[in-house]
Each structure stands twice: as structure tokens, then as C-alpha cells.
Copies of this chain bind each other. A is one copy, B any other.
Amino acid sequence: MKISVLTFLVLLNYQLLSGQSEVHKQQIKKIFHQALTNGKSYDWLDHLSNQIGGRLSGSLNAERAVIWGNQQLNEMGLDKVYLEDIMVPKWVRGTFEYASIITGPGMSMNVPVCALGGSVATPAAGLRAKVVEVKNFSELEVLGEEKIRGKFVFYNRPMPPDLINTFEAYKKTVDQRSNGASKAARLGAVGVIVRSMNLRMDDYPHTGNMRYGNLPNKMRIPASAISTNGAQLLSSMLSLNKDLYFYLKQDCKNYPDVPSHNVIGEIKGNEFPEEIILVGGHLDSWDLGDGAHDDGAGIVQSMEVLNLFKQMNYQPKRTIRVVLYMNEENGLRGGITYAENTKRKNENHIFALESDAGGFSPRGFAFEANEKQFKKIKSWKTYFEPYMIDHFTLGESGSDIGPLKNGKIVLSGLRPDSQRYFDYHHSANDTFEAINKRELELGAAAMTSLIYIVDQYGF
């Protein structure tokens, strides 16, 4: 039999490629084995959640988290660990928040509320006013100043339950929380009550950021979230008596910016050290729970990527950098500052991966990439099929890495199962107990595998 030189070369190339792909399969198998049998993510999260706890930007706890993150990265024996200076907003919830529905003299029912992040306080004696319920801003505009002035506006549009991706349901309702106060204030409202962004009916109010935009200081009104059960109660009470009163008292406060830090560590690449592959999450959280899902999980999974490489003695070709971002929740200062500095230093990031969608069972990744890049990415799906983490889609990656976007870098976000995320998001029940060890570890293994493949193939 005669084999032409061309055929020979094609066969050789095929042999080499399939041999290479077999090596990668084995390496990924080792990564999953290591993460599930000897990973550190769960113990790290236990410490971050239970020994440190909620860590809102600007708080002492956030600084304790910075010190802890810095220590852990140093103990890992990375090539370089450093802090990046940033200035962050400082908002403090204060010592009380309290609300009730008053239907007559001596007839009041307490309802669970919490101040929205960034909100001003009520007067010290609290606010007592009638309530106008709306589902959206159009309804608000139709009612107009005449019907709104002097009252609370109660935004009560539920997250649509029939969207499969709960983040889409969130996007369809979060405008009430973000901009509801400024819209209502311009029509003379005295305060806003916002239905919690939660798909469950329960008693937890969910906080989150709100903005007054360019609304003058003296026009700013207090904004508070009410639990889903509380919202349903208030709505049904209003349907019986539209003249009832709502009472709200909260003493949260905005302070001037304070210094804080992104925490950064890296393993230097030995072939293309100038090509940076970034993995990260955000170290800050809201103050109500201990931020185990949002985003303690993303922090410890990102740290685990470098930890597994060290444990497995894997020497990357490219520089693998972990960034524990500060201040995703109420300012994104960490993400913005990091991107500015990296541009100034002329650093070349080829890929960035964020985990900020909870520590649930991973189902795939979303990518911000051009057609050619995404074609290459899809060819890697086969590596992830044995782990059922093979839903590769085009879509938003993550807030912190967003500012790195420059038309060349590929951005990606881990996509865990989203069904339970908003049960916990920004709420007092976002605690370590809501984390399943295996699910957390599978996410870390998936991230490590993707970073490994990007390191091997590049873009």
C-alpha cells in the first residue's frame, strides 16, 4: 500500500491532535477528582461566611475579608500577590428598620422590610403615609403627581415565574428597586416600598443597590424592600382599604468614600507570560446574610483554580491571575479601577472568567466573544460533556470583568443552575448552610478546566 505524503501528514496531524485531546481529557478528569476529593473551596467558604460574615464595601468586615484573601493567596505560594488600591462608597444600614400596616387606631401589623442599599433614612420618628400600589413606571406616570404626592409608592411587580432563567426574570423587575425611588420622588412621594426580587413566597426582605441619579439631595426619599409575603399582605389589605397607612422607620446613612482593595495573585506563565488569563469573583457582599452565594462562592472557586494548579504541579503557559474584586454590589469600583490600571499598564488580557451566579450545580458557561472565538470555544464543549457542564451560550459574563471589554478579550461567566439563586440573593438567608459542598466544588472544577483549556489553546 502506498500512502501519499499528504495523507501521511494528515494522519500524523490527526494522531497528534487526538493524542493531545486525550491528554486534556485526562487532565480535566484529574482536576475534577482533585476538586471533589481534596479541594479547599468549601472550607474557605466556611471561614469567609462564618468567621468573617457579611462584608459590605466600606465596612470593617470587608477589610477583614481583604486581609484574609491576601493571607490565603500568600499561603498558596503564588508567584506574586498584591493589593490594588481603590476608593469605595460607604453606606451603613444603621441600628433599626421597621415597618407596619396601620388599618385603624390600635390596629397595626408588622411587615418584614430592609432598607435598600444607598437609601436615605426616614425622619427619626419614622414616616406615616397612605400607599399607592403600582406594577410599573407607566402606571406611576398615569397616576401622576396629584395621586402620588405625600404618599408611599408601593412597587409590586413580581418576578415572572415562567421564565426558565431566573436572571431574566430578575432583569424584568429590578428597575423598581434601582430607579423606583427617584421616579416616585419626582412625583412627590414620601418614600417607596419595593417588593423583594424573590421568586418564593417567604418572609425575607431582599436588599440591593438603588440610585437617586441626579435627584437633588433634598428630594431624596427613603427606599425599602418588603418580603414577598409582606408585599402580598399589603396588596390584599389595600384592596380592602385603600386608605390604610404604612409606617416606615429606618436610619441608614451614606458616608464619604473610604479606601479599600482588590486582592490579586498570579502564577506566571512559562511560554507566554505576557498573556493574562483572569479568574475572579467579588469579595464584598451585602450586609444581611453572610454572602455565601453572592459572592463568597465565586471568590473561593476562583481561588481554587490557582490552588488546584499548584496542588497538581501544573505549570501554565500563560499567566493565570485571580482577582478578588471589591465593591461589585454598590459601585463596581473594583472592576472599573482594575480595568483602568490594566489599560494604563498596557497588560494583555486574553480571557477573563467570573463566577457570580451562586454556588449551585454548574450547567455551563456564557461567553462574550466574536464569531471566530466562539467557534473555537464550542469545539471545547466535548471536554465538558462528561460532567454535564456543556451549555455554552453567548451572553453576559460578569459585572466585575465587564470593564475589561475591548473587542479582543473573551469574557465568560460560570452558569450554575439558577432556580434557587433568588431565594437567597441579597437576603439574610444567603448563608453557608445554603451551600452544597459538591455543587460548589463542581463549579470550581469546571472553572479550573476551562482556564486550563484556554491556557493550552489560547485565542
Residues of A at the B interface (CB closer than 8 Å) are 32-33, 36-37, 161-162, 164, 166, 199-200, 361, 363, 386-388, 391, 417, 419-420, 423, 436-439, 442
Contact = CB atoms under 8 A, between A and B. Distances in A.
Nearest to A437: B200
Contact of A363 (B162, B164, B388): B388
A36 B161 contact: yes
B200 A164 contact: no
Contact of A439 (B36, B419, B442): B419
Contacts of A391: 388
Given A417-B361, A423-B436, A439-B419, A388 B33 contact: no
Contacts of A164: 32, 386-388, 442
Given A32-B162, A164-B386, A164-B388, A361 B37 contact: no
Nearest to A422: B438
A351 B115 CA distance: 54
19 contacts: A32-B164, A33-B162, A36-B161, A36-B162, A37-B161, A161-B438, A164-B387, A164-B388, A164-B442, A166-B438, A199-B438, A361-B361, A361-B417, A363-B363, A419-B438, A419-B439, A419-B442, A420-B436, A423-B436
Contacts of A388: 164, 363, 391
A437 B422 CA distance: 13
Nearest to A200: B437
Return the 3 tightest CB-CB contacts between A and B, nearest first: A33-B162, A36-B162, A36-B161
A420 B440 CA distance: 11
A69 B391 CA distance: 38
A124 to B, nearest CB: 40
Q: How many of these chains are in the complex?
A: 2
Contacts of A32: 162, 164
Given A33-B162, A419-B438, A420-B439, 6 more contacts: A32-B164, A37-B161, A164-B388, A164-B442, A200-B437, A419-B439
A445 to B, nearest CB: 10
Nearest to A32: B162
Contacts of A199: 438
A439 B437 CA distance: 19
Contacts of A423: 436
A293 to B, nearest CB: 14
Nearest to A39: B161
B361 A419 contact: yes
Contacts of A420: 436, 438-439
Q: Which of A161, A166, A386, A439 has the most chain B CB atoms closer than 10 A to its own CB?
A: A161
A32 B163 CA distance: 9
Contacts of A437: 200
A437 B198 CA distance: 13
A289 to B, nearest CB: 18
Contacts of A436: 419-420, 423
Contacts of A200: 437
Nearest to A163: B36
A442 B199 CA distance: 14
A419 B388 CA distance: 12
Q: Which of A387, A391, A437 has the most chain B CB atoms closer than 10 A to its own CB?
A: A437
A443 to B, nearest CB: 11
